[in-house]
Structure 1
Amino acid sequence: MCAPSSLAASDYSLIGAVKLHLLIVLLGFALSGCAASSDRLADRSSGGTSAAQPNIIMIVVDDLGWSDVGYNQTTDLLETPNIDAMAQQSVRFDNAYAGAANCAPSRAVLMSGQYGPRHGIYTVSPSTRGDSRTRKLIPIANKRGLQPNVITLAEALKDAGYASGHFGKWHLGDDPDTQGFDVNVAGSGQGMTFHYFSPYRLPNIEDGPNGEYLTNRLTSDVIEWMKSAKGAPFFAYVPYYSVHTPLQAPEATVQKYRDKGILGGKQANYAAMVEMMDKNVGRILTMLEAEGLADDTIVIFTSDNGGYRMPSFPSPIRAGKGSYYEGGLRVPLLVRWPGKIAPRADHTPVINADFYPTLLSLANAKRPDQVLDGMDLSSVFLGKKKIETRDLFWHFPVYLQAHNGLADQAQDPLFRTRPGSAIRSGDWKLIHYFERDEYELYDLSNDISERDNLAIRRPEKMSELKRKLGAWRQETGADVPTQLNPEYDAAINQQLIAQQLGK
């Protein structure tokens, strides 16, 4: 399945295949550049933008686990030297969260600045996932994409004079071109690629030479676009398809990890995909230095949600993608802006809804006339002050079936999560499961693995968070499923749970 390739080959084999695409890219930038006002142009230096409107690069890796980058690892099996070097130059948020535990809803929170109940994207459709006999409730219907009336982060930055380019996975509608991006490479309603090696069979991207690797190709395209956009502020959104399944990487890199002792084929391929992603992050950072853009550019590195649990790569946090335990929600987050953001660790709990108001503030852009649930963290980024404690929320009124039974570390082995809501308040986290009106309460300062449910032993704290969570659901109009599923069979549900536990 995995064709051989190398980074060097893909860097220099694109010349013939990408000529037409680059012509479209340059034309898109030329059209967007006309929107920049004369006073903005007067502020430009020859090497980049003014401090008033920095360039913005947002790299969002698909399904990268919190522990799967070197600076967070509990093992040395995965290699991310470029990301680790960036971490030393960045503010590193160790309590950063995705807006949801799987792809589309998390990206919807990021691009809209709004919690799930406001836009209605809760999962990757349908919401009726898993065996119907084991679903006690009829879940809330899911929306498949952001509605046209939602003003995206890209649209808000475009209104402020930014050129905007999209390179990778969109998953929020048919075409990011209609939602604020001047240029779109490989973005569509499709949530994954089935072919990391060309021919890609993806919408909105021309195939490269046979065997070209998709992560390399997307990086080459965004680098060329950013070079062409030099002189005016740009927003480069780089949501790589990596490291989402199918797990495919150049064979030589996969073999390297087999030689390191990772014997499972999936795990070796995953490690190789992580390394290839890291190399391409390094290419972007190297380009910024070479083009004199580094000091004028904010670079954000994060993931859209937690990763799948893999036995070769231990993690101190519980569960993975699709779960509302920490392993599904907590993500790596680095923010670099040389000379403006001091490198350091920051323990502030943040969520990807915060990007929207924060980047508008840093770009001196106008806030749109819509509710933004995120907080402006610009003062935190710049080290000027700390924010007051605030609560973070998640709502998942749908079902998501198990990925790998017991390895998922979920509440039960049939689902990564059943319908519920969650709140983080200070160091405390409360999860409310709707089927049986159950609550789980964890003290993350002492139990990051979420093993010790304190709901009974700390009734005052549970009551406090329960009240806050209920008030938030009411304020956002969150739909809670209450209608019973006539196909549900409690006996079969328990029988199937017992079978999985018996394995």
Structure 2
Amino acid sequence: MGIRNIITPTCLLCYCLILLVTPILSAGVNPQKPNIILINVDDLGWKDLGFMGSAYYETPNIDRLAGQGMVFYQAYAAAANCAPSRACMMSGRNTPSHGVYTVDNSERGNSKTRKIIPTPNRDFLPDSLYTLAAMLKDNGYTNGTFGKWHINEDPLQHGFHVNVGGSHRGNPGSGGYFSPYKIDFIENGPDGEYLTDRLTEEAIHFVRANKEKPFFLYLPFYSVHTPIMGKPELIETFAGKQGTKGQDRPDYAAMVASVDQNVGKLMAVVDELNLADNTLVIFTSDNGGIRDISYQTPLRAGKGSYYEGGIRVPLVMRWPGNIQAGSKTDFPVTNLDFFPTLKSIISAEVPAAEQLEGIDLNPVFRKQPMAERAIYWHFPIYLQAYNPKEDGGRDPLFRTRPGSVIRKGKWKLHHYFEDGDYELYNLEEDPGEKHNLAQSQVEIRNQMIDLLESWRLEVNAPVPGQANPLYDKAFEMNLIKQKLNEK
């Protein structure tokens, strides 16, 4: 009887504990809502990091982060330049859904060289769209952004509690990487203080202040956007280092090194506060690098182009216990996938009207088989060239002309609206998009065209076709010859 009296309450206690623990275990390895750190570097190229293959740039801290998480070798921005990429990432919606296609005017370049009237551009993300930050705020997160925002006047209007340095501005201005600063929502530091350092200090203060509750830290550095301005001591370090063609600028290398140093500082604080195991870290870039500054060989072109060099970006995700350290994937992903992935992780709801256009990447984290899916880009506007001899674009006048792009599996199709032309590439064999197979792989081309046209109808994507009365073919041809013959 004594034994029965002892066992019975013990069993009841065990049973109660099982009931309490079972929901926690079924939720996954990490039952708490994780802190989220999203580091978005501006204009950092796909190959501008040590772990991505650069022998010139030095990024030991980011390389270490890559070794602790998963590297996505075929990651993309949803657009090839700053504002639309950020609008896509924050809204989870592709460009036709919000109308942000570029920065400022869609009628870029000389009016006599534009064959059609481009679609008007929207400067800011519509207030009606539910953002990633708003979702996290509604689910108990404290949100802070430190750096470049670029998709409306103030990120506090889109779900953030704290904002340092973020507004409509797309770059820090001439000389603006050193205090006194020329951006909004920031107090000047000591003369000569470096902006990348300052933004990281503010971010670290935010982490320390919110360590006891779930937080979302968005750290969109202004670096490595122009003007190219590195810290003098770092420029000197790289001045004597041998580079390779297209990756040999000490001032740019100094900017990359500063980003790396500051990522290291932030990660050290996360470790110090014992937050690493419950923190998902995402490191990426908003679009491809500027080819005139840094080559992304073997990828073609750079920022502003829808060839691979303009949209392929570095991407690392670290989440101990949920993402295997040292893992890698070639599954194609885009920054449109961040929103649905985080939504799934925290079991959030979004308004029924919000149709997120990315996918949940949690199965990728677990190395589960994923169905092949199509990825789309839509750019019904013009974007003029940076450097005609270096850009690697379709012609020397524009980084891209109005068109759409689709990738599915190894195949990538470009459709240009001015002349109805198509380019088809096999990215497995030709990542540099040098060999157009549109005429030799007709069946694949037509399948891709059907998918692209169906998607445009589904999302109501505008396809401009009205002739531009100012277009002058002779002027255009002469200007192209002039650009090609310039030294």
TM-score by length of 2: 0.91
Matched, 1:59 2:36: no
CA distance in 2, matches of 1:267, 1:193: 20
CA distance in 2, matches of 1:466, 1:247: 40
CA distance in 2, matches of 1:136, 1:314: 30
1:52 CA displacement:
2.9
CA distance in 2, matches of 1:312, 1:366: 41
1:259 CA displacement:
1.2
Per the alignment, residue 300 of structure 2 pairs with: 318
Where 1:283 maps in the other structure, the secondary structure is helix
Correspondence for 1:460 among 415, 436, 443? 443
Matched, 1:152 2:136: no
Pick closer, same or farther for the CA change 1:265–1:320 going to 2, 3 Å: closer
CA distance in 2, matches of 1:135, 1:226: 49
CA distance in 2, matches of 1:261, 1:354: 38
Correspondence for 1:248 among 211, 222, 229? 229
Correspondence for 1:126 among 105, 114, 120? 105
- 1:52 touches 1:362 (CA, 8 Å); kept in 2? no
- Deviating 4+ runs (over 6 angstroms): 263-266
Deviations 1:170-200 (A, max 9, x none): 1010100011000000010111111000001
1:51 CA displacement:
3.0
Q: Which amino acid in 2 is paired with 1:371? A: Q
Q: Which amino acid in 2 is paired with 1:247? A: I
Where 1:212 maps in the other structure, the secondary structure is coil
Pick closer, same or farther for the CA change 1:442–1:169 going to 2, 3 Å: same
When Rg is computed on C-alpha atoms for both structures, the one with the higher figure is: 2
1:388 CA displacement:
1.0
Per the alignment, residue 165 of structure 2 pairs with: 186
Where 2:249 maps in the other structure, the secondary structure is helix
Q: Which amino acid in 1 is paired with 2:315? A: L
- Please identify, of 340-349 and 107-116, the stretch whose mean Cα deviation from structure 2 is larger: 340-349
Where 1:492 maps in the other structure, the secondary structure is helix
Where 1:408 maps in the other structure, the secondary structure is coil
Per the alignment, residue 424 of structure 2 pairs with: 441
* Cα RMSD for the two superposed structures: 1.8
- 1:439 touches 1:455 (CA, 8 Å); kept in 2? yes
- 2:41 touches 2:223 (CA, 8 Å); kept in 1? yes
Where 2:274 maps in the other structure, the secondary structure is coil
CA distance in 2, matches of 1:72, 1:313: 13
Correspondence for 2:329 among 346, 349, 366? 346
Per the alignment, residue 87 of structure 1 pairs with: 66
Per the alignment, residue 361 of structure 2 pairs with: 377
CA distance in 2, matches of 1:265, 1:352: 26
Q: Which amino acid in 2 is paired with 1:51? A: P
CA distance in 1, matches of 2:464, 2:30: 50
Q: Which amino acid in 1 is paired with 2:357? A: D
Deviations 1:6-65 (A, max 9, x none): xxxxxxxxxxxxxxxxxxxxxxxxxxxxxxxxxxxxx99xxxx96330000000000000
- Please identify, of 256-265 and 327-336, the stretch whose mean Cα deviation from structure 2 is larger: 256-265
Pick closer, same or farther for the CA change 1:129–1:140 going to 2, 3 Å: same
Per the alignment, residue 6 of structure 2 pairs with: none
Deviations 1:197-216 (A, max 9, x none): 00012110001000000000
List gaps (5 residues or longer) in structure 1. 1-42
- 2:179 touches 2:192 (CA, 8 Å); kept in 1? yes
1:265 CA displacement:
12
CA distance in 2, matches of 1:121, 1:64: 21
- 1:262 touches 1:312 (CA, 8 Å); kept in 2? no
CA distance in 2, matches of 1:312, 1:318: 12
Q: Which amino acid in 2 is paired with 1:70? A: G
Report sequence identity in percent.
51
Per the alignment, residue 395 of structure 2 pairs with: 412
Correspondence for 2:477 among 494, 497, 500? 494
CA distance in 1, matches of 2:295, 2:236: 17
Correspondence for 1:328 among 310, 328, 337? 310
Pick closer, same or farther for the CA change 1:444–1:262 going to 2, 3 Å: closer
1:163 CA displacement:
0.5
- 2:58 touches 2:257 (CA, 8 Å); kept in 1? yes
Per the alignment, residue 34 of structure 1 pairs with: none
Q: Which amino acid in 1 is paired with 2:46? A: W
TM-score by length of 1: 0.88
Instruction: Please list, as runs of the form range in 1=range in 2, the aligned pairs for 1:9-408 lying within 5 A after superposition.
Output: 51-73=31-53, 75-194=54-173, 195-261=176-242, 267-310=249-292, 313=295, 315-343=297-325, 344-369=327-352, 370-383=354-367, 385-408=368-391
- 1:60 touches 1:301 (CA, 8 Å); kept in 2? yes
- 1:167 touches 1:185 (CA, 8 Å); kept in 2? yes
Pick closer, same or farther for the CA change 1:424–1:312 going to 2, 3 Å: closer
Deviations 1:318-363 (A, max 9, x none): 0000000000000000000112210311111101100001011112
- 1:267 touches 1:310 (CA, 8 Å); kept in 2? no
Where 2:456 maps in the other structure, the secondary structure is helix
1:405 CA displacement:
0.6
Matched, 1:426 2:406: no
Where 2:415 maps in the other structure, the secondary structure is strand
Q: Which amino acid in 1 is paired with 2:361? A: L
Pick closer, same or farther for the CA change 1:53–1:265 going to 2, 3 Å: closer
Deviations 1:350-384 (A, max 9, x none): 0110000101111222233311001111221243x
Q: Which amino acid in 1 is paired with 2:362? A: S
CA distance in 1, matches of 2:369, 2:357: 18
CA distance in 1, matches of 2:445, 2:379: 20
List gaps (5 residues or longer) in structure 2. 1-22
- 1:96 touches 1:350 (CA, 8 Å); kept in 2? yes
CA distance in 1, matches of 2:126, 2:211: 32
Deviations 1:140-196 (A, max 9, x none): 000011111100000001101000001110101010001100000001011111100
Pick closer, same or farther for the CA change 1:358–1:457 going to 2, 3 Å: same
